[in-house]
Copies of this chain bind each other. A is one copy, B any other.
């Protein structure tokens, strides 16, 4: 049986100094690295010391890169370039790395004639072979003459030297064509190296696209399983190596980024194997999700506003934990645990998903490098398998319904009332830490098999916000992720951002009216919103009046509408939303998010002001508050 694919990562993917990058790559489980030349040049470690460090860490040095602009129509310049290569061969020798990436030239003196170019590559290959090295020639998508993989393969064939082969980079290939299948016809031993990167589909200069917006496989819009299948079919058996230039990853903790990247390769190999090519290194399929077992909110002592609001929203406190300060609230199929042993300010602390085989789902998560949840953090006594999502939320795996392990930990208390129409959890809205939005998408996509929707964007009061919905194919579990497009500064405070639990109702007006009557703190929406809504959507007057009275937000889509009523932000950072979906709506109400965010900000300024007025007789507070 063929073994799992070997994995590697280019040091340029990661933030920090070379020693930080190597340590992070090893910790994430990579087998090897590509050494990006500027990382070495800036390092006080000699090439020999880097070789030793990598050996200590169990990392092979699979590639030295890049060597730029070799070929030249000017003989003097070609001689200088060959001389430069000689210096680099010395470095590679000391590093103990036998393959160097040679990019197609972007220089004005690049050679256009393929035979002349092949001759120059042949000469360098000959020199490399003399040193026991080999060249992996790569077509940059913006190369001056060689800018497709076909053109690079043509040159390699003409040069016809055993020390010269191809480097295939998925970005350079897929940014130029959606059909990489022809790669399957290349002899596998002519493919010396494979670099993998995803990217969002953008209409922009390809060099800028490549330098700033690459992503790990599964985080963007490229069909990488198809690409990898072609390369494996060709017979390539080298490492799967990541080369991702990404502005955020360049700043983020390299240990986190490396783990994210390693997960992306496992998920890619799995998806490619599912298509019939290669070996699946995960070995446990994604779970069929059946629903949400519970959502947990961690609070400090101040759970009062949350309890009052759940009660006003028609929830019954149906259980009290036998040994921990945890209450279970229920309505319809929605279950919310309020855990008083936790945070200072209320925050969503856990999501528990239901599937037929939770142990298998947990095995899959572990195989994909998800961090196991510290045992002490479970809300129940039952030993539920759980991992930690990128934003710190715990993710529990449960069996469906009332027979689940966890529910036995709760002593029944109240008799269930009728409620006010909540049928279940529609989704969770989780604002993500700036550095971990794409990591979160890949985490949920790979661990839970959720399908990510497209990335949206809206103008919040204090900056642009990026959004993405994820759900399982059957829409049993949904998540709405958001993140600031740019990390916030002082004027636009952004941490911690509010989170929400969206609860499904059949008739948002009826449910909201009942909640209001029961004292739920529904968020006040400006009249201007309803004047604009009346201009945009032709609604019956009494419906518009009800919306205006109750603060219903109406996001009209082409085939339906997303209606929501939000509560104020309760203690901490959590609010609750009642959601009614009309028609075939499959959205998350993003259109109304700026209005909702402005309203929440006003609510919190007002609350803070009243607190401050009491405590300090001060009112200068248009700033310094958490917001989105």
Report the Cα distance A222→B536, complex, angstroms. Answer: 36
Per the bound structure, the CA–CA distance linking A464 and B524 in Å amounts to 42
Contacting A532 at CB < 8 Å: which of B37, B529, B599?
A: B37
Show the binding face of A for B, using Cβ within 8 Å: 12, 15-17, 20, 37-38, 40-47, 80, 83-84, 86-88, 90-91, 202-205, 208, 212, 247-248, 250-254, 434-435, 459, 461-464, 485-492, 524, 526-529, 531-532, 534-536, 538, 594-595, 598-599, 601-602, 622
From B38, B435, B459, B526, contact of A43 by CB (8 A): B526
16 more contacts with CB within 8 A, not counting A17-B461, A38-B594, A42-B594, are A12-B459, A16-B461, A40-B528, A42-B528, A80-B538, A83-B535, A83-B538, A86-B535, A202-B204, A202-B208, A250-B459, A250-B462, A250-B464, A252-B492, A435-B489, A487-B489
In whole angstroms, what is the CA distance A46 to B532 when docked? 12
User: Which residue of B88, B251, B435, B461 is within 8 Å of A42 (Cβ)?
Assistant: B461
In the complex, the answer to whether B41 meets A529 with C-beta atoms within 8 Å is yes
Q: Are B526 and A15 in contact (CB under 8 A)?
A: no
Chain B residues near A88: list those with CB within 8 A.
Answer: 535
Contacts of A251 in B (CB 8 A): 462-463, 486, 488-489, 491-492
**A–B pairs, 12, beta carbons within 8 Å:** A15-B463, A17-B461, A17-B601, A38-B459, A42-B529, A42-B594, A44-B526, A44-B528, A87-B535, A250-B459, A253-B490, A253-B491
Separation of A461 and B39 alpha carbons in the complex (Å): 8
Chain B residues, CB < 8 A from A91: 531
A16 with B622: CB separation less than 8 A: yes
Q: CB within 8 A of A534: which of B87, B486, B594, B598?
A: B87
Closest to A94 in B: B531
List the 8 shortest-distance A-B pairs measured between CB atoms, nearest first.
A87-B535, A204-B204, A203-B205, A42-B598, A251-B463, A251-B492, A253-B491, A487-B487
Cβ of A47 to closest chain B Cβ, rounded Å: 7
A487: which B residues are within 8 A, CB to CB?
A: 486-489
- Contact partner of A41 (CB less than 8 A), chosen from B15, B490, B491, B532, is B532
- Residue of B at shortest CB range from A494? B251
Partner among B205, B208, B486, B622 whose Cβ is within 8 Å of the Cβ of A486: B486
Instruction: Give, as a whole number of angstroms, the nearest-CB distance from A457 to chain B.
Output: 8
Determine the distance from Cα of A422 to Cα of B378 in the docked complex, in whole angstroms.
67
Contacts of A45 in B (CB 8 A): 528
- Alpha-carbon distance A37/B491, docked complex (angstroms): 22
Once A17-B601, A204-B208 are accepted as A-B contacts, the answer to whether A528 and B41 lie under 8 Å apart by CB is yes
Q: Give complex CA distance A622, B253 in Å.
A: 11
Chain B residue, CB-CB nearest to A535: B87
Within the complex, the shortest CB–CB distance from A615 to chain B, in Å, comes to 24
Which B residues lie within 8 Å of A205 (CB)?
A: 202-204
> Taking A203-B208, A526-B42, A535-B87 as contacts, is the C-beta distance between A248 and B595 under 8 angstroms?
no
